[in-house]
């Protein structure tokens, strides 16, 4: 089931990425799997899990491409461009699947990551935890609305 979700997400993303970009999404072993138990804690439809996993994969891959951008990197041009394209694709994907609230939640987090990296701090940030926090807040809001 878990592998299927990740596989289905990759297929969905590949179908929606512009062919001219020629980006082949690849995940490191185990990557994305830490988001699965986080999502299991909430009562989410399979399609919603696909979209959240999609956003996780797009952002992870975009950040990775841009971390490759050093002056001596052979594929520098592609890495700059692929990272740029994926960051804009992230927004298109989120808008299409009505995840704008998540975009609002992640915006300061992604911005702070760029600030740190521009300043030479390359520590990995915990995107899974941010998505978990978002789902938690969303769940509480939904519960509160039901009470009212």
- The footprint of another protein (CB under 8 A) covers 18, 20-22, 66-67, 69-71, 76-77, 80-81, 83-85, 87-89, 91-92, 95, 100, 103-104, 107-108, 110-115, 117-120
Q: Which 8-state DSSP code applies to residue 1?
A: -
Kindly state the smallest distance separating residue 20's Cβ from another protein, in Å: 5
From 36, 5, 10, 9, select the one nearest 128 (Cα to Cα).
36
Question: Shortest gap between Cβ of 32 and another protein (angstroms)?
Answer: 22
User: If you count them, how many residues does the chain have?
Assistant: 148
């995840």: which residue's tokens? 99
- Is 22 or 29 the residue whose CB approaches another protein more closely? 22
Distances (CA, A) of 142 to 55, 65, 79, 116, 137: 22, 36, 40, 34, 9
Closest to another protein by CB, 36 or 81: 81
Using the minimum distance from each CB to another protein, give the nearer residue, 7 or 75: 75
Least distance in Å: CB of 82 to another protein?
9
HSE-CB for 72 with a 13 A CA cutoff: 0
Pick the closer one to another protein by CB: 100 or 129: 100
């Amino acid at each position: 089931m878990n592998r299927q979700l990740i596989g289905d997400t990759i297929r969905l993303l590949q179908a929606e990425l512009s062919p001219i970009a020629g980006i082949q999404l690849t995940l490191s072993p185990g990557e994305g799997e830490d988001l699965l138990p986080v999502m299991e804690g909430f009562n989410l439809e399979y399609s919603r899990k696909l979209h959240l996993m999609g956003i996780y994969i797009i952002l992870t891959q975009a950040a990775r491409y841009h971390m490759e951008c050093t002056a001596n990197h052979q594929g520098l041009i592609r890495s700059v461009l692929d990272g740029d394209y994926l960051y804009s694709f992230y927004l298109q994907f989120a808008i299409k699947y009505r995840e704008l609230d998540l975009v609002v939640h992640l915006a300061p987090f992604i911005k702070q990551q760029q600030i740190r990296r521009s300043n030479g701090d390359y520590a990995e940030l915990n995107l899974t935890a941010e998505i978990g926090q978002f789902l938690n807040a969303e769940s509480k809001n939904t519960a509160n609305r039901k009470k009212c």
